Amino acid sequence: MTTAGLVADVCIVGVGATGSILAKELASAGLKVVGLERGPAPRLEDYAVRDSVKFIARPEQLDWVKHEPTTSRAKIGQAAQLRYRTSPLNVLGGALLHWTGQVSRYMPSDFKLYTNEIQSGNAERAGADLTGYDIIDWPLTYDDLEPHYEKFEWEFGVSGKAGMNPFAGPRKRGYPLPPLRHSAKMELFAEACQKLGYHPYETPAGILSQPYRPPTPFDTRIAERAACVYCGHCNFYGCHVHAKAAALYTTIPVAVETGNFDLKTGCKVFRIDTDGSGKATGVRYFDPDGRPQEQRARVVILCAFVFESVRLLLMSKPDDGSFANGLANSSGYVGRNILAHGDVRAMGLFDDFIVNGFIGPGSAAMRIDDFNGNNFEHTGLGFIRGGTIGTSGDGAPITRMDVVPPDIPTWGKAYKEYFTRYYTRTFDLNMQPETLPHKANRVDLDPRHRDRWGIPLPRVTFDFHENEHRLQKFMAGVGEKIMRATGANKVWTERKAAPNRWAGGTRMGADPKNSIVNEYCQTHDVPNLFIVGASVFPTMSGYPPTATVAALSYRTAEYILRQKQWFA
Amino acid sequence: MKSTTNRPAATSLKVLTPSEARILEAIAGRIFPATETPGAVETGAVNYIDQALAGDYGHFRSLYRNGLRAVDRHGREKFARKFADLSDVEKDTVLTDFESGQAQGFKNAADFFETVRCHVLEGVFCEPHYGGNRDLIGWRLVGFPGQQYGYPDAYINKLVDLEPVATVEPPLEKK
């Protein structure tokens, strides 16, 4: 094993959304930062092609997907099967390469589930069955994150209109860009929601509605980017005009230009080292040639997404016998309480209205939060929480070819007649119901499967439980009602939820006995080890995690920069 | 409809044998049949699958080998003729037996059917450099204008009057 002589100020493991924000902020302040990214640096011609076979039909063949499978099972005791997912992406820039671009801030109430739902008696009034759930509050508030949400929105460029969503938290500044152009889906949905007395608004989108460069007081080093051209190849694709907010052409080049950021791709970290005093001393990784290397650092930050951050902690057991259950795991909570949305859909098709749902982008969407969080009366409903509801259903024919009403066969003449007539005349409503932290849902090390470096794969054990089942059913019903109100000639729902948008596993909390990190994403056990990403979420909202993950990154960077004595 | 060519689907096979290709073509012709408009065979779906089996879908080769043989065998057992020579109704009976997993003697029947169904439709709607969607027939059939650079109009309740395009141009225009 070779030893890199230099001790970096900060070593970042994983250079995606969170890692790139931290790299930019810390390197800009003069710290010497090393970034180790397991994936490749994708070239424009690798990702910015509107190719539905490559990105929709065969994503498991992508270079940045195929080397990092997880194993997956619903319940403890079952054998886990290999799964190749597009998320996490092991690629420079991470999931911001292929995301849709929904950037909602969490609502203030999303951070206090224990207080608002359990302690307040809401759960009891609702008649919810919370057996097996493990709900705690976040150790911070919406107000703590507000300035960091703002910074994210103005540095990456978000299109939206403040004041339209009555359920949103207060904000000091509007969005940098006006909303994206309305699509037919948005018009149909907005009209239906208004008819029903709901409150539709344009989803804040991480897609530029106009050419944009961040103004002062934000980071003006970020280059100007072009406006969206509405090509519709958005969700799962890289953006060919760079209108979609991505780390590759915002935070990463700025971090590199500081001269303080040593970015190494193709480097797979497999262990975090510690010394006798219980502090992290650096990491070990395989370089692109598969040789083990060492990187020493004063601060180590895991930005490696839910599965990998958990896996690294569980694999890093110091030789001196401390942390026998894995690093920073004195609580035994590493890997526990993982979360994922269980989306359900309502589909509609129209005989006399042409929707052209393929015209994008996916995040040019209309949304309501009337059934999100605790925004509606739950008494007697049998569950707590809710979800956000919005328009969806974009995509090339390969994306849509399996969206078939239950009374139409999936092949043959009738299928052909259906799809050729209705491909342009259909869209979906997507309901994103919140999932609660459950003790049975966890990530650990797979005892059987290993990756190409010989490291045990992360094994995901995840299922939806009683609160999710009831909530998902309710949300599907609401979606169906709204879709009927659009005037669709046929409406059907897809109620079988598959988990996506993962979170949890190294949750933050005030109590070191049942959480891994504090409000600054600093591990309770190892003061110079941080974990930044959706894995720190103790609970999830109905919204996607990206805006909150980014805000936490900016906040953690600020905290680290205040610890001047660490780098003296 | 710009093109209604009816050429044979697989011109130079990479993985499938000619007899396998004939069975697959007969299946494709029922999954997405030619009607008054072209179907999967005419768009080159068999060619798409053959190319895919030579590359990204290499791991499906044995499923195809065994599955195609099983479809043919099931056709012979049920109707005493090769699958490709059966009537449309007879072919659909055989395929329905596979779809429902009721075909005897092949334990992956339902899995094979679903795989083929999905791949045939991919062959109809793929970007044409993958070997299917010949002359953009698949896209024209459903009203998808292809890999447009963008859309200057939202086309709300309007037909999109753009000629479909398949593009392999360098992705980002340099300023």
pLDDT score of B3:
39
Q: Omega before B164 cis (within 30°)? A: no
Domain positions in chain B are 18-142
pTM: predicted TM-score of the whole model, two decimal places: 0.95
Task: Flag whether residue B105 sits within 8 Å of chain A, measured between CB atoms.
Answer: no
Tell me the two tokens of residue A48: 């910015």
User: Cα distance from A272 to chain B (closest Cα, Å)?
Assistant: 36
Please name the CATH architecture into which domain A7-567 falls. 3-Layer(bba) Sandwich (3.50)
- Closest Cβ–Cβ partner in A61, A397, A413 for B125: A397
Of the pLDDT bands very low, low, confident and very high (cuts 50, 70, 90), residue B107 is confident
Backbone angles phi, psi at A433, to 5 degrees: -75, 140
- Note the maximum CA span of chain B: 66
pLDDT score of A276:
85
Nearest-CA neighbor of A435 among A401, A395, A378, A387?
Answer: A387
Nearest-CA neighbor of A160 among A123, A196, A116, A209?
Answer: A209
Which of A180, A416, A419 best tests the B interface by mutation, with the highest count of B CBs <10 A? Answer: A416
Which chain B residue shows the shortest CA-CA distance from A182?
B154
Between β-strands A292-302 and A7-13, what pairing exists: parallel, antiparallel or unpaired? parallel
Q: Respond yes or no on whether ipTM tops 0.95.
A: no
Q: How far is CA A308 from the centre of its chain?
A: 14
Q: How many CB pairs under 8 A join A and B?
A: 123
Contact flag A356-B160 (C-beta cutoff 8 Å) = yes
E strand residue ranges, A240-328: 261-265, 268-274, 280-286, 292-302
Which chain B residue shows the shortest CA-CA distance from A49?
B171
Tell me the two tokens of residue B139: 């896209």
Name the 3-class secondary structure at A360: coil
Q: Which residues of A175-192 are buried (b: 16+ CB within 10 A; e: fewer)?
A: bbbebbbebbbbbbbbeb
Contact flag A50-B157 (C-beta cutoff 8 Å) = no
pLDDT score of B60:
97
pLDDT score of B66:
96
Model confidence pLDDT, tens digit, residues B32-88:
999 999 999 999 999 999 999 999 999 999 999 999 999 999 999 999 999 999 999
- A14, A95 in Cβ contact below 8 A? no
User: Cα distance from A532 to chain B (closest Cα, Å)?
Assistant: 32
pLDDT score of A568:
85
Residue B8 has pLDDT above 70, yes or no: no
Backbone angles phi, psi at A443, to 5 degrees: -115, 135
Contact flag B150-A61 (C-beta cutoff 8 Å) = no
- Note the maximum CA span of chain A: 74
Task: Flag whether residue B150 sits within 8 Å of chain A, measured between CB atoms.
Answer: yes
Rama region for A489: left / alpha / beta (φ>0; ψ in -120 to 50; rest): alpha
pLDDT score of A393:
82
Spatial neighbors of A110 by CB under 8 A, at least 6 apart, are A142, A373, A539, A541, A543
Contact flag A53-B149 (C-beta cutoff 8 Å) = no
Write out the DSSP string of A10-35.
Answer: EEEE--SHHHHHHHHHHHHTT--EEE
Segments of chain A with pLDDT less than 50? 1-3
Nearest-CA neighbor of B75 among B44, B46, B106?
Answer: B106
Residue B108 exposure: Cα atoms within 13 Å on the Cβ side = 15
pLDDT score of A5:
65
Angle between helices A466-485 and A184-196 (to 10 degrees): 100
Residue B136 has pLDDT above 50, yes or no: yes
pLDDT score of B169:
54
User: With contacts defined as CB-CB under 8 Å, which chain B residues touch A50?
Assistant: 147, 167
Model confidence pLDDT, tens digit, residues A495-533:
888 899 999 999 999 999 999 999 999 999 999 999 999
Task: Flag whether residue B121 sits within 8 Å of chain A, measured between CB atoms.
Answer: yes
Which of B53, B133, B148, B175 best tests the A interface by mutation, with the highest count of A CBs <10 A? Answer: B148
- A155, A91 in Cβ contact below 8 A? no
Whole-angstrom distance, CA of residue A63 vs CA of residue A44:
14
Which chain B residue shows the shortest CA-CA distance from A233?
B147
